[in-house]
Structure 1
């Protein structure tokens, strides 16, 4: 069993395609298919079901994939640790973030990190806070930036609080309430809302605030990104609540302060144990 074979298996599993996996691995497809077939013969079972329309993991492939990823990660970490021992930070850094992160200028941080450590390959993943925490805990992501309501904390990860921010009302410029200097939840509760998907931390902070005030509201539209939220608000389809530090980035809408606004805490989180040299270097940069 060779590391390259494991890389091919992971690539096919992630892309659901031998063709795209070969392109990602920069190898001809016939060579990739041959190596996976060799590995399957050695293991004594098929890892993938192949049809003319799709490729998917078999039960054996599902069982094999986590161990393959762990082996590749261990090999990459071993190489990175050797490089770090002689003063060079290299390897891979996977960063997760929510779309509304505002406490850190992530592009600027990556620019500085790239200048210091050009040998590190960086991957960015945008997702919801609860899934980012899970992925950090599972070792899929090295570092994540997330936001949670004040009633929740990251569990099972190393966490550092970055900032606490109040939510503001986001409205279309022609909305009657857009001319107000300050609002409260009661005045907003009669409006249709555009909000994040139910059950996510981004939604929970607003739901909890209205519930605590004894108010109900109509969430007419559920979306997954703040940009889409702003587009719907800009078309006068509803109002929204977003962090005050992030909302000014949105075009075509106005923001109004909320007197009894919900709060959002931003965190940077990482693994509890065995951080890679690249992750440690990135976290050190954030603290400098």
Structure 2
């Protein structure tokens, strides 16, 4: 048996037993993958997959056990590579970070810039995707560290920790009637066409839940995954925007009731915090369970939040299921 066989089996399972897609991802041929898997099954004396003709149909019971072992082997192989890279080339290498658009655009720039100042020989590879894609990139060892608000804590093979809290804001042009309202209500927002996030992004679930609990049915004029897109359509007068507070903090177009900075030009937009309507959201940082974290991974985590100390991360990675490790106080 060999590592190529292990990788083929692992990727076939990840791609829902679609060998055509598996071959595409691995840049090899479908017959080659089928042959390697059959050879591994023959050597082990078991069927990892059941088949209908040449098509894989499901993973067998012993196949699940094999996949668990392969996952451990491949994880430790990646750990060995990282250990070798770290100790042979101090503070040199590529750090892969997976994040949603909001995190990549508004949260990560300063910590990553600070990391580069501390570790100028580290290259940062930034991947953007949905929270589920962020999780899958971590599980597939395509990223070492992930950050998102949704979904990450739903994957048992990830170790996640709270990173920071944030709230939503309602945004609209400065001449909008709601600009004169000191404290917005759900009823007032429900009466307006809304421009906000796609249901799987940036706390949208909390928004929907708040309206449902009040028996309100707001009109969603536009959904997007990108905060900048939402702001663009709000500026065009399509409706009232509901987006993450970090998306407006440094935008000179906004006059924010919680940020007195403003820009050199008169503000054309208004942002009002509505956390009291939709609750607080928690962005989480995530790592693959059992992964070896290089020193600059710890450095970036500490730059993201002063609470994410090296001591806490080390303890959590070593004992991820211990009480109090994953949900320490923010």
* Alignment gaps of 5+ in structure 1: none
Matched, 1:104 2:108: yes
Shift of 1:87: 4.1
Shift of 1:257: 1.9
Residues in 2 aligned to 1:198 and 1:22: alpha-carbon distance in whole angstroms:
32
The answer for the alignment partner of 2:74 in structure 1 is 72
The answer for the alignment partner of 2:298 in structure 1 is 283
Q: What are the residue-to-residue correspondences of 1:86-165 with 2, within 5 Å? A: 86-88=88-90, 95-101=97-103, 102-105=106-109, 108=112, 112=116, 116-117=121-122, 124=127, 126-128=129-131, 142-147=144-149, 157=159, 159=161, 161-162=163-164, 164-165=165-166
Report the count of equivalent residues. 273
| TM-score of the aligned structures, taking structure 1 as reference length | 0.65
Residues in 2 aligned to 1:134 and 1:167: alpha-carbon distance in whole angstroms:
27
RMSD (Å) for aligned C-alpha atoms: 5.0
| TM-score of the aligned structures, taking structure 2 as reference length | 0.58
Quick one: structure 1 residues 238 and 269, their matched pair in 2 at CA, closer, same or farther if it must change by over 3 Å?
same
Which one has more relative contact order, counting CA pairs under 8 Å at least 6 apart?
Answer: 1
Q: What are the residue-to-residue correspondences of 1:1-288 with 2, within 5 Å? A: 1-15=1-15, 16-43=17-44, 44-47=46-49, 49=51, 57-60=58-61, 61-62=63-64, 64-88=66-90, 95-101=97-103, 102-105=106-109, 108=112, 112=116, 116-117=121-122, 124=127, 126-128=129-131, 142-147=144-149, 157=159, 159=161, 161-162=163-164, 164-171=165-172, 177=176, 180=179, 184-186=183-185, 187-196=188-197, 202-207=203-208, 216-220=216-220, 223=223, 225-226=225-226, 238-247=239-248, 255-258=269-272, 260-262=274-276, 264-265=280-281, 267-271=283-287, 274-278=290-294, 280-287=295-302
Quick one: structure 1 residues 48 and 76, their matched pair in 2 at CA, closer, same or farther if it must change by over 3 Å?
farther
* Alignment gaps of 5+ in structure 2: 255-267, 304-330
Shift of 1:6: 0.8
